[in-house]
Amino acid sequence: MALDPKQQADIDAIRAQSFPTRRATVPALEEMLYTALPVLDHGFVRVIDYMGDDGAVVQAARVSYGRGTRKVSEDAGLIRYLMRHRHSTPFEMCEIKYHVKLPIFVARQWIRHRTANVNEISARYSILDREFYLPAPEHLAAQSEINRQGRGAVLEGENAARVLDLLREDSLRAHDHYMELLNEDDDGQARDPSRPGLARELARMNLTLNTYTQWYWKTDLHNLLHFLSLRADSHAQYEIRVYADAMLKTVEAWVPACYAAFRDYRMGAVTFSASMLAVLRRMLAGEAVTRETSGMGQREWAEFQATLAAPHP
């Protein structure tokens, strides 16, 4: 993902500004502020603004007037307690706002998380750029035979080349027709004065789902961590997972104590059902438990076995 000179100049101008403040700031995140973290071929994530830090979580949990005189280790211990016991409201005291550029089909998956304030660029008012997501060859995969929403083996050779050609050709042709329907140039003037252009709100329906869109996405830390626990997971679709991975870097810079607790108690943890826990206790007692004697269904048993065999992250 490359920024054009104007975009880079705009970012540099904003980053050059400095404002005196009495509110909590985080130097590591301040250093990242406004900077675009590249994602996919044309996408990015960048932090636009934030409120609060690790101390704000602790302050809310203790309902204190200030930061107090407790040691950092004590604050980290409290944060770990809050995370471990799923006390969510203190984490809601921190907020962050992102500017994200992403393919439309990723945006439609992302918007399922209805816990943020979102403002997306409107193709009723703006003309969308001629930019499309084309998967790298290693991410071109066939449909999984065992998972309806997953991928199977990577496509190779002529088959992979043909798929990429089709994706590229369809995207370019759709955008060419989109511009023809609009009948507008970059300055909003008619390309062909002899005919009217189609309304932007109608012309946009011709675009492919790999066309890039942009939005501002603001959420609190609790809901952000829930989003990341699902979308940074290895089972999430690759195209949204890489955005979550980029956002994890900003969380680590912003609230390192919260991030460490999240990594240990969410990302690096597993959840057992009551039946799984009962079987685990039987195994620890020395019993040779089989699926038939476990009381679990075949799928739950397979998930249980996979969890026990999985390496610790």
CATH number at residue 113: 3.30.1360.170
Whether 106 and 236 share a structural domain: yes
Examine the fold and report which residue of 165, 193, 209 is the final residue of a domain before the chain moves on. 209
The whole-number pLDDT of residue 5 equals 83
| CA gyration radius, the chain | 24
Rounded percentage of the chain residues whose pLDDT exceeds 90? 71
Whether 28 and 155 share a structural domain: no
CA atoms of 101 and 35, how far apart (whole Å): 13
Whether 2 and 70 share a structural domain: yes
Whether 180 and 280 share a structural domain: no
Provide the pLDDT confidence category of residue 191 given band limits of 50, 70 and 90: confident
Residue 112 has pLDDT above 60, yes or no: yes
Provide the pLDDT confidence category of residue 312 given band limits of 50, 70 and 90: low
16's tokens: 């050059």
Nearest to 61 by CA among 51, 76, 40, 41: 76
Whether 235 and 203 share a structural domain: no
- Report which of residues 148 and 153 the model is more confident about: 153
Specify whether 231 is catalytic: yes
The whole-number pLDDT of residue 69 equals 54
Examine the fold and report which residue of 169, 184, 209 is the final residue of a domain before the chain moves on. 209
The whole-number pLDDT of residue 101 equals 97
Whether 32 and 122 share a structural domain: yes
Whether 142 and 263 share a structural domain: no
154's tokens: 């990577």
Domain housing 285: 274-309
pLDDT digits (tens, 9 = 90+) for 52-81: 999 999 999 998 766 655 677 889 999 999
Whether 160 and 244 share a structural domain: no
Please give the model's pTM, rounded to 2 decimal places. 0.90
Residues 6+ apart with CB under 8 A from 304: 272, 276, 279, 294, 296
Residues 6+ apart with CB under 8 A from 49: 96, 97, 218
133's tokens: 């997501």
Whether 106 and 255 share a structural domain: yes
Whether 218 and 155 share a structural domain: no
User: Into how many domains does the chain fold?
Assistant: 3
Q: Which of the following is catalytic: 231, 241, 263, 282?
A: 231
pLDDT digits (tens, 9 = 90+) for 193-203: 888 999 999 99
Provide the pLDDT confidence category of residue 28 given band limits of 50, 70 and 90: very high
Whether 278 and 262 share a structural domain: no
Examine the fold and report which residue of 157, 181, 209 is the final residue of a domain before the chain moves on. 209
Lowest-confidence pick of 8-22, 60-74, 173-187, 237-251:
60-74
Residue 11 has pLDDT above 80, yes or no: yes
DSSP codes, 98-118 = EEEEEEHHHHHHHTT--SSEE
The whole-number pLDDT of residue 8 equals 85
CA atoms of 11 and 15, how far apart (whole Å): 6
Beta bridge partners of 47: 98
Provide the pLDDT confidence category of residue 263 given band limits of 50, 70 and 90: very high
The whole-number pLDDT of residue 152 equals 75
Whether 248 and 283 share a structural domain: no
Provide the pLDDT confidence category of residue 256 given band limits of 50, 70 and 90: very high
